Amino acid sequence: MTEDRKRHCIVVIGGGAAGFFCAVNAARLNPHTRVVLLEKTSKLLSKVKVSGGGRCNVTHACFEIAEMAKRYPRGANFVKKTFHQFFTTDTIEWFQTRGVELKTEEDGRMFPSTNSSETIIRCLLDEAAKYKVEIVLQAEVAEIQKHDAVFVLTLADGRVVEGNMVCITSGGYPKSAQFHWISKLGHRIEEPVPSLFTFNMPAHPITELMGVSVADVLIKIPALKFKERGPVLITHWGFSGPAVLKLSAFAARELSKCDYGFSIQINWIPEYNEESLRGYLQELRESQGSVFIGSRNPFGLPHRLWQYFIQLAAISPVTRWSEFSSKQQHQLIRILCGDVFSIKGKTTFKEEFVTSGGVSLNEIDANSMQSKIVPGVYFAGEVMDVDGVTGGFNFQHAWTSGYIAAVSMSKNIS
């Protein structure tokens, strides 16, 4: 090793999933280069620790790139390219090679078989120690300047760190102003807005059914032309569940613009539309005529919800299928196929949330993660304008982009 090579240094900014994955791979791939990881706080991998309810939903058991890309409301085209270099299969193998087995749950989410995020943290910390990544805590980068071929990083406390290449993995910030030190490099920042939240309906009577869930509903935001199908959960403040979270993610920008005041329309039995339901109800009148409506729930809906719906349609539970009026039928069809709710506000989903927005993807080369504005600067993770729905997609982007940045920097530094 020559003295010259010894002096080469890669600086990674941020000790989260993307930063660690970048740092440990860069250090392993290029043992003669110093890899320094700067973390603003006194804690490493803090989001990994709390992720997935403390279990860390590492990735998703999806093995088709085109299918996987559909789970990213922002950055779908970008990840289509990056996943060709490092995909879910590579994540599984990377951890497996280091003794971490992942298991798949029914819905496709993958967790360490220990069910503990500590397993992932331990693996990344061991890897960092093995390849001698220099970790500096309480090191908040406040400014990056390029002097010839050297980057000079000034920390918030005045310390200075120098490097030949810099990878920015500082995660999502809720406010545009917090990206100032990155935009000063010349990068455009897409306005950050929250994604993955639940819908509030203060004091709506349906919230008395908190805890009730329906496996398959169709939710639309008619004014914004967004829709999602999937499970929904009634909570004490409104609606949650996978379909709601997905909708919040895909409509994140538009919902922020209307300050989270909007209407949704729910079809509680999406296999029917108004017309086909009318036909089915007619069949029930004939085949189940003597049965009480309140005792026979023909749609497999939770019993409490069915009781709520018939009460809303002003139908007594002891009305027989042959007896209910066409006005009541009309009401029931409207409630089942197109119930409208006014949403007022949002609640952050505690299991997983992300900030959409960040460094504009037009200015990052998807093959290398290198900045198109400042050569030698790289990006990985949530700092970029990429975000996924819940299910392990956000970590997969962090691993993929961190890995690609590590490989590209290693190629360019030697």
Ligand X SMILES: Cc1cc2nc3c(=O)[nH]c(=O)nc-3n(C[C@H](O)[C@H](O)[C@H](O)COP(=O)(O)OP(=O)(O)OC[C@H]3O[C@@H](n4cnc5c(N)ncnc54)[C@H](O)[C@@H]3O)c2cc1C
Q: Are 260 and 343 in contact (CB under 8 A)?
A: yes
Applying CB under 6 A, which of residues 11, 36, 100, 141 lies at the interface with ligand X? 141
- Which among 123, 5, 102, 126 is positioned nearest to 52, based on CA atoms? 102
Provide, rounded to whole angstroms, the least separation between the CB of residue 98 and ligand X.
18
Binding flag, residue 400, ligand X (CB under 6 A): no
Query: Minimum distance between the CB of residue 287 and ligand X, rounded to whole angstroms?
Result: 47
Choose which of 11, 13, 219, 359 interacts with ligand X (CB under 6 A).
13
CB nearer ligand X, residue 226 or residue 393:
393
List binders of ligand X among 17-36 (CB under 6 A): 17-19
Q: Verify binding: residue 378, ligand X, rule CB under 6 A.
A: no
Backbone dihedral angles phi then psi of residue 133, each to the nearest 5 degrees = -70, 130
When asked if residue 395 is in the footprint of ligand X (CB under 6 A), the reply is yes
Residue whose token pair is 């909708």:
247
Return the range that interacts with ligand X (CB under 6 A); candidates 15-23, 27-35, 78-86, 226-234. Answer: 15-23
Q: By C-beta, is 16 or 238 nearer to ligand X?
A: 16
CB of 260 to ligand X, least distance (A): 19
Contact criterion met (CB below 8 Å) for 197 and 348: yes
Query: The tokens 């929250």 sit on which residue?
Result: 194
**Smallest distance, ligand X to C-beta of residue 362, A:** 19
Q: Is 75 in the site for ligand X (CB under 6 A)?
A: no
133 touches ligand X by CB under 6 A: no
Does residue 112 bind ligand X (CB under 6 A)? Answer: no
Which residue, 238 or 392, has its beta carbon nearer to ligand X?
392
Residue 394 interacts with ligand X (CB under 6 A): yes or no: yes
**Nearest-angstrom CA–CA distance, 398 and 163:** 22
- Which residues have a Cβ under 8 Å from the Cβ of 257 and sit 6 or more positions away? none
Q: Does 385 bind ligand X (CB under 6 A)?
A: no
Does 14 participate in binding ligand X (rule CB under 6 A)? yes
Pairing mode, if any, of strands 213-221 and 261-267? antiparallel
Using CB under 6 A as the binding rule, whether residue 52 contacts ligand X is answered as yes
The correct pick among 382, 408, 409, 410 for binding ligand X (CB under 6 A) is: 382
240 forms part of the interface with ligand X (CB under 6 A): no
- 308-367 residues near ligand X, rule: CB under 6 A: 351-354
Rg of the chain on CA atoms, in Å: 26
Q: How far is the CB of 386 from ligand X (least distance, A)?
A: 9
Nearer to ligand X by Cβ, of 19 and 73: the residue is 19
Contact between 246 and ligand X per CB under 6 A? no
Structure tokens at 132: 């001698």
Asked if 372 and 344 count as a contact pair (C-beta separation under 8 A), the reply is no
How far apart, in whole angstroms, are the C-alpha atoms of residue 285 and residue 56?
50
174 or 222, CB closer to ligand X?
A: 174
Binders in 143-182 for ligand X, by CB under 6 A: 169-171
Looking at residue 76, its amino acid is: A
51 binds ligand X (CB under 6 A): yes
Residues in contact with ligand X by CB under 6 A are 13-19, 38-41, 46-47, 50-52, 56-57, 140-141, 169-171, 351-354, 381-383, 392-395, 398
